[in-house]
Amino acid sequence: MKGLGKRFQIAVAAAIVAWPMGVNAIQPDGPYLAAEERFGEQWKKNDESADAKLAALRGKFGKRPNIVYILTDDIGWGELGWQGGGKHRGAPTPSLDRMAFEGMRFWSAYAEPSCTPTRIAIMTGRHPVRTGLLSVLWPGQDDGLSPEEVTVAEVLSTAGYHTAMWGKWHLGDLDKHAPENQGFDYAYYGLFNGAPDYWQASHDDQSGTFPFADFPGYEEYKARTGIDLSVAGYIGEKGKKRKPIPGLAGNLSPDRQEAFENESIAQITDWIKGKAKSDKPFFIYWASYALQMSASKEFLDAPGVDKNNRQASFMVLHNKHVQMLLDTLRGEGIAENTLVVWISDNGPMYAFWPTAGYTLLTGAKGDVTEGGVRVPAMAWWPGMIEPGQDPDDFLHVTDLYTTAARIAGATKHIPSDRVTDGIDQTALFLLGEGNSKRNYMFHYGGSVLGAIRYENFKVHIKASHGGLPGMDFFNIRRDPGEKYGAMYPGLFAVTPVQMLLRQHIGTISKFPHRPPETPGSGELTPHD
């Protein structure tokens, strides 16, 4: 169990037991199998009801549903208008709020603590610790998402879907890691997060306007490190050599992200129109740069925008773009046959405050406290998802992988030689509140398990002392801000949480984690 971290000391010495894997074609985590023993009959009935709705839809449209996943960046829980943010925070989100109320808005949705890890999770349905890619990637690194991992795009492509992605890839710079080599027919993608867009600008400006004044400039940086920052992103097609994105959208600068987003939504709407009448369904992964560090010039002076927070105007731009996507689906007559899920990749990053998102929860990007991992999310599917729902059911970003496969009739293409953490949430989407199959979550920071959520309770894992369990215990339903944690009020939860941990570790012993492509690559930022 090397690499799992010293904070696993909740009496785990006796916990390493192999968990029987059952007969599932997919290999779920141990806690899911334990829950399936208790609730399997009800889950089977729910799945049959969901299947009936999907069959009726297929009869109407003659093909499986289209799937659109929108992953945003650093937007905290509480940031959208429907959660109390929006115009009240100086970043109006009327279209996003309308989308939320027209479908299902999740108050208990969770991601990984930072950007690359969540992208791994949505692509593979697995906690990043299982994949060997443990930390946020930076320009020039050789690490990336292993080609041995099976992405949601590969699963759906094998099942006959058109697949395309736009946005922040951030899963490796090399050809072997590129989205067009990871299951996407077409990809228009940036390689990095938003910080490198400001490196050269900081060097050129030197007024303190930009935050990276010590960057030596592109040429000197390349001379010192060998890292070439002349290409910020690529256009890739399956089976073809990728090409650098031309123009402003492909060159690192403070203006790149807005140009990139505008070009992305133009391509997305055109692509949908081109595929709407195809006999094959489509899958879109839109990993928007909203919100990184950019400002939208179009909306900088828009009514209600906080002008001192550059991200506020970018939120208004993203709000416009999502409306364009939904309008296109309606205009093509395929909204009823298209699931759209919107979710943030982690909590806010306060490093460049006041240019930042915000959350009322404790912590931020990089933390396993609620502020780092609890995120806004909503699902929109006219005629299939009943509008006006606000379930408290758990949804984890890994669940989107398995749910997409189930909706696409493609679960047989999920590999069974590894653990898939994502849980099929089709019944939750189609039948409503109370139908989630998830009542637990594991929150990792790099290789370290930092917290466990079980029903209404959350345990922060610490070193044990004097034979007592190492934990801070919170009732998250009562205390979402994690302000009133203590060990003794949660002693009744020790055994159930230990049981979850035994089951979880049992699957690790049966299906060990993939080693990193570059040994030691995650050591500098193990918290990410």
CATH number for the domain including 494? 3.30.1120
Tell me what pLDDT residue 177 has.
96
Q: Are strands 233-237 and 457-461 parallel, antiparallel or unpaired?
A: unpaired
Amino acid at site 389: Q
Asked whether residue 163 falls in the same domain as residue 297, the answer is yes
Question: Phi/psi at 36 (nearest 5 deg)?
Answer: -65, -35
What is the 3-state secondary structure of 28-97?
CCHHHHHHHHHHHHHHHHHHHHHHHHHHHHHHHHCCCCEEEEEEECCCCCCCCHHHCCHHHHCCCCHHHH
In a domain, 317, yes or no: yes
Asked whether residue 18 falls in the same domain as residue 66, the answer is no
In a domain, 524, yes or no: no
Its pTM stands at 0.93
Please identify, among 395, 417, 439, the residue that sits at the C-terminal boundary of a domain.
439
Is the pLDDT at 111 greater than 90, yes or no? yes
The answer to whether the bond into 291 is cis (omega within 30° of 0) is yes
Domain count of the chain? 3
Task: Indicate which CATH number applies to the domain containing 399.
Answer: 3.40.720.10
Assign 453 to helix, strand or coil.
Answer: strand
Amino acid at site 43: W
In a domain, 163, yes or no: yes
Mean predicted confidence (pLDDT) in 158-180:
97
Confidence tier at 253 by pLDDT (50, 70, 90): very high
Confidence tier at 521 by pLDDT (50, 70, 90): low
Please identify, among 413, 439, 465, the residue that sits at the C-terminal boundary of a domain.
439
Mean predicted confidence (pLDDT) in 41-63:
97
Asked whether residue 304 falls in the same domain as residue 356, the answer is yes
Q: How many CA atoms lie within 13 A of 334 on its CB side?
A: 26
Confidence tier at 520 by pLDDT (50, 70, 90): low
Asked whether residue 398 falls in the same domain as residue 305, the answer is yes
Is the pLDDT at 525 greater than 80, yes or no? no
Tell me what pLDDT residue 161 has.
98
Tell me what pLDDT residue 228 has.
94
Catalytically active residues, by annotation: 115, 170
In a domain, 33, yes or no: no
Asked whether residue 405 falls in the same domain as residue 501, the answer is no
What is the 3-state secondary structure of 459-514?
EEECCCECCECCEEEEECCCCCCCCCCECHHHHHHHHHHHHHHHHHHHHHHHCCCC
Asked whether residue 293 falls in the same domain as residue 419, the answer is yes
Asked whether residue 481 falls in the same domain as residue 405, the answer is no
Asked whether residue 83 falls in the same domain as residue 149, the answer is yes
R_g of the chain computed on alpha carbons: 22
Query: Lowest-confidence range among 64-73, 207-216, 463-472?
Result: 463-472
Is the pLDDT at 250 greater than 70, yes or no? yes
Tell me what pLDDT residue 454 has.
93
Mean predicted confidence (pLDDT) in 131-156:
94
Asked whether residue 333 falls in the same domain as residue 421, the answer is yes
Mean predicted confidence (pLDDT) in 215-241:
96
Task: Collect all residues with Cβ–Cβ distance below 8 Å to 40 and sequence separation of at least 6.
Answer: none
- DSSP code of 245? P
Tell me what pLDDT residue 116 has.
95
Is the pLDDT at 293 greater than 50, yes or no? yes
Tell me what pLDDT residue 99 has.
98
Amino acid at site 232: A
Confidence tier at 20 by pLDDT (50, 70, 90): very low
Asked whether residue 214 falls in the same domain as residue 121, the answer is no
Asked whether residue 471 falls in the same domain as residue 447, the answer is yes
Asked if 445 contacts 135 with a C-beta cutoff of 8 angstroms, the reply is no
Query: Lowest-confidence range among 50-54, 90-94, 336-340, 496-500?
Result: 496-500
Confidence tier at 523 by pLDDT (50, 70, 90): low
Give alpha helix (H) positions in 125-180.
Answer: 128-131, 152-158
In a domain, 1, yes or no: no
Tell me what pLDDT residue 487 has.
84
In a domain, 452, yes or no: yes
- How far is it, in rounded angstroms, from Cα 365 to Cα 371? 7
Confidence tier at 230 by pLDDT (50, 70, 90): very high
What is the four-CA torsion angle of 326, 332, 337, 338, rounded to 10 degrees? Answer: -30
Is the pLDDT at 327 greater than 90, yes or no? yes
End-to-end Cα distance, the chain: 20
Please identify, among 439, 458, 478, the residue that sits at the C-terminal boundary of a domain.
439
- Domain that residue 267 falls in: 40-192+232-439
Ramachandran region, residue 197 (left: φ > 0; alpha: ψ -120 to 50; beta: rest) = alpha
Asked whether residue 421 falls in the same domain as residue 293, the answer is yes
In a domain, 458, yes or no: yes
Is the pLDDT at 203 greater than 70, yes or no? yes
In a domain, 76, yes or no: yes
